[in-house]
Chain A
Amino acid sequence: MKLRVYAIAYLIFLYAPIILLPIFAFNDATIIAFPLSGFTTEWFAELTQNRALHAAVQNSLIIAVCTAVFATILGLCAARAGAMSDFPGKKGITGFIMLPLVLPEIIVAVALLVILRQVLGLSLGNWTIIMAHVLICTPFSIAILNGAFGALDPSMEEAALDLGESRWSAFRLVTLPLVMPGIISSMLISFTISLDEFIIAFFLTGSNPTMPVYIWGLLRFPKSLPVIMALGTILVALSVILLTIAEIFRRRGVRRAGGTDTGGFL
């Protein structure tokens, strides 16, 4: 009982900051402080006017979509290999691919900055961020897809082979539909991570900032804070929706492949 109270208090602690977002987003005052002064939708209206923000959002969306697709493709390869026979060195290779999960993001950021700018002399742009985001999203994709492939009976694909399908069509007709929920979940998670990622994007962004980089710029100007609150409200709502869909698909995937569900992401 005491534990339950503690756990609920902990949840409140986790959500405390987020709950403030909509409160101040609709608050009719330029300073972010209590007491509240009144209701307004002015800050949301202002969002629709901001050209620079629109450009940043567009950039971020492009980056996030590309990241989601590429990271999931790499994740599919690794997770499928993970479900096959072991070979000498497989654990080590998988561990290396999962490394970005624990590497401080700043290390990834500076390492890529050095190689791209100083060594190769390339100019930065959306594609440099995409490359970095694919690197850090792949481990998450692998973790999710491992769940989907792990729950899959290996004789499913053999049965399709046995019934006359080629290796590729067996994969396409049997394995792919069965892990599809995992793929969707992986794409949504990668999309969310990329959309939100700041530390690396700040280092690798070119002349066109991504949305978090743009927000970072805004944070200096007290005048723009209510607008950030409005933007944050939208972003949080969006991520919650995306994550809920991702979770529904992940669970459906595990169930479809015949496993029992125990954990969340990771």
Chain B
Amino acid sequence: MAKFATLTQDQTRSIKLLGLPLVYALLLLAVPLGAIVLFSFWTQDFMTVDTTFTTANYREIYDSPIYGLLLQRSLMVSGIVTAVTVLLAYPVAYFISFHVHPSKKSIWLFLITIPFWTSYLIRVFLWKVILGYNGVINSGLLQLGIIDEPLTFILYNVNAVIITLAHAFAPFAILPIFVVLEKIDRSLLEASQDLGESKFSTFLRVTLPLSMPGVVGAVLIVFIPTIGDYVTPELMGGAGGKLIANMIQTQFLQLNNAPLGAALAIVAMLCVTAISLIFVFLNRKYLRGRT
């Protein structure tokens, strides 16, 4: 408490200002999150909620294979989507940071972010138009005579979900990498070449390690939210492409089993958080001394 006694006026004002958004986030984020944790230990009894403490929901998730399967599939899809987006995004971020004239950088970033802001639902749906049975790809390939029958492995399965999600999250992956690349002192690269490294080995030994914080950021900012998407698997996944988010949505909105849905949401969150923490831990040597 002694610390607070010596707060400057400026600090007091800054605390007061931050109070409003903080209270808002507490009421609309912390309290509701607490509520679903509580709910996950209760059970649904037809129309009412039985508030006796029980781990029944968690046991059910553990026992029925369907939840495990969905969770596994979700994590796998998110993992692949993350790997694909980050790998595809890195060269673009590198290109913009190192090869685009400074005055043109913001226009490139702007072009990349625009699709991200435009009507998500319709964008996902458009992939259906592209990949569908009568879709752009199939009708195009048929007309060109490359195939005789429409391809079916590109819609209503996990592949389609991955393609669509990778497309949707692309800008998310580019920005954090770009920001870190921009901060790299260019004289470090010259120093490395001066010390006898080739351009490519300079990239491997200097640029890449220095940009790892951005890569880690990109991985997290893609991996975590993709778990929560139920639109893409619903529209693109078919029966075999449903994910855990669809199950959570079903429990809440169709089966009216909020406690089980809450438990599923918490399990999904815990898995994502655990994987993210492990990932950050594995990359800790790159993150040291940075924020």
> Residues of A with Cβ closer than 8 Å to B?
3-4, 6-7, 10-11, 13-18, 20-21, 24, 31-35, 73-75, 77-78, 80-81, 84-88, 90, 93-94, 96-97, 99-108, 110-115, 118-119, 131-132, 134-135, 138, 142, 189, 192-193, 196-199, 202-203, 212, 215-216, 219, 228, 231-232, 235-236, 239-240, 243-244, 247, 251, 261-266
Most buried by B among A232, A261, A264: A264
A93 near B18 (CB under 8 angstroms)? yes
Cβ contacts under 8 Å, B96 to chain A: 7
0/1 string, B123-136, CB within 8 A of A gives 1: 10111011010111
Q: Would B130 and A110 count as touching, CB distance under 8 A?
A: no
| Bound CA–CA A97/B25 (angstroms) | 6
CA distance A13 to B88 in the complex (A): 11
What does DSSP make chain B's interface, helix, strand, loop or mixed? helix
Rounded to whole angstroms, the CA-CA distance of A17 and B108 in the bound complex is 19
Q: B36 near A111 (CB under 8 angstroms)? A: yes
Nearest chain B residue, comparing its CB with the CB of A73: B20
- The reply on B225 being an interface residue by CB < 8 A is yes
Point out the residues of chain B lying under 8 angstroms from A115, CB to CB.
31-32, 35
21 inter-chain pairs at a CB distance below 8 angstroms, sorted by A residue, are: A6-B92, A14-B170, A17-B123, A17-B129, A18-B126, A32-B134, A80-B17, A86-B11, A88-B3, A99-B25, A104-B268, A107-B269, A111-B265, A135-B28, A199-B230, A215-B121, A247-B110, A262-B105, A264-B109, A264-B112, A264-B113
Q: Which A residues are in CB contact (< 8 Å) with B92?
A: 6-7, 10
Q: In the complex, what distance in Å separates the CA atom of A219 from the CA atom of B127? A: 13
Report the minimal beta-carbon distance from B183 to chain A, rounded to whole angstroms.
Answer: 10
Query: Residues of A contacting B143 with CB < 8 Å?
Result: 34-35
Tell which of B24, B123, B130, B245 touches A134, judged by Cβ atoms closer than 8 Å.
B24
Contact, CB under 8 Å: A74 / B21: yes
Main secondary structure of the interface of A (DSSP, over half): helix
Whether A21 contacts B117 in the complex (CB less than 8 A), given A114-B39, A115-B32, comes out as no
Q: Which of A11, A100, A106, A235 contacts B122 (CB 8 A)?
A: A235
| Contact pattern, B 80-123, Cβ under 8 Å of A = 1, otherwise 0 | 00000000100110111001000001101111111101111111
Interface pair A119/B35, CB less than 8 Å apart:
yes
User: Which of B106, B125, B135, B252 contacts A263 (CB under 8 A)?
Assistant: B106
Given A84-B13, A100-B29, A102-B220, A243 and B136 contact (CB-CB distance below 8 Å): no
The yes or no answer to B240 lying at the interface (CB within 8 A) is: no
Give the complex CA separation of A6 and B230 in angstroms: 31
Q: How far apart are A203's CB and chain B's nearest CB, in angstroms?
A: 7
Residue pair B29, A135 in contact (C-beta under 8 Å): yes
**Chain A residues in 8 Å Cβ range of B224:** 102-104
Residue B249, interface by CB 8 Å: yes
- Count class of interface residues, chain B: 35 or more
Q: Which 4 A-B pairs have the closest CB atoms?
A: A104-B228, A111-B32, A264-B109, A17-B126
Rounded to whole angstroms, the CA-CA distance of A110 and B258 in the bound complex is: 9
Residue of B nearest to A138 (CB): B21
How distant is A138 from chain B, measured CB to nearest CB, in Å? 6
Given the interface contacts A7-B96, A33-B135, A235-B122, does A90 sit within 8 Å of B179 by beta carbon?
no
Is the pair A215, B95 in contact by a Cβ cutoff of 8 Å?
Answer: no
- Tell me if B117 and A84 are in contact (CB < 8 A): no
Partner of A112, one of B7, B20, B32: B32
- A110 & B139 in contact (Cβ 8 Å cutoff): no
Q: Are A7 and B22 within 8 A (Cβ)?
A: no
Closest residue of chain A to B223, judged by CB?
A102
- Docked CA distance A262–B167 (Å): 25
The reply to whether A84 and B22 contact each other, CB–CB distance below 8 Å, is no
Which residue from A18, A87, A199, A263 sits with its C-beta under 8 Å from B7?
A87
15 more contacts with CB within 8 A, not counting A14-B170, A17-B127, A243-B117, are A13-B167, A17-B167, A21-B122, A33-B129, A85-B10, A87-B15, A104-B225, A111-B265, A118-B35, A135-B24, A138-B21, A196-B119, A199-B230, A199-B231, A251-B106
Q: Which B-chain residue is minimally distant from A111 (CB atoms)? A: B32
Instruction: Check A219 against B265 for contact (C-beta < 8 Å).
Output: no
A14 touches B167 (CB 8 A): yes
> In the complex, what distance in Å separates the CA atom of A123 from the CA atom of B240?
35
Known: A99-B25, A115-B31, A135-B29. A239 touches B118 (CB 8 A): yes
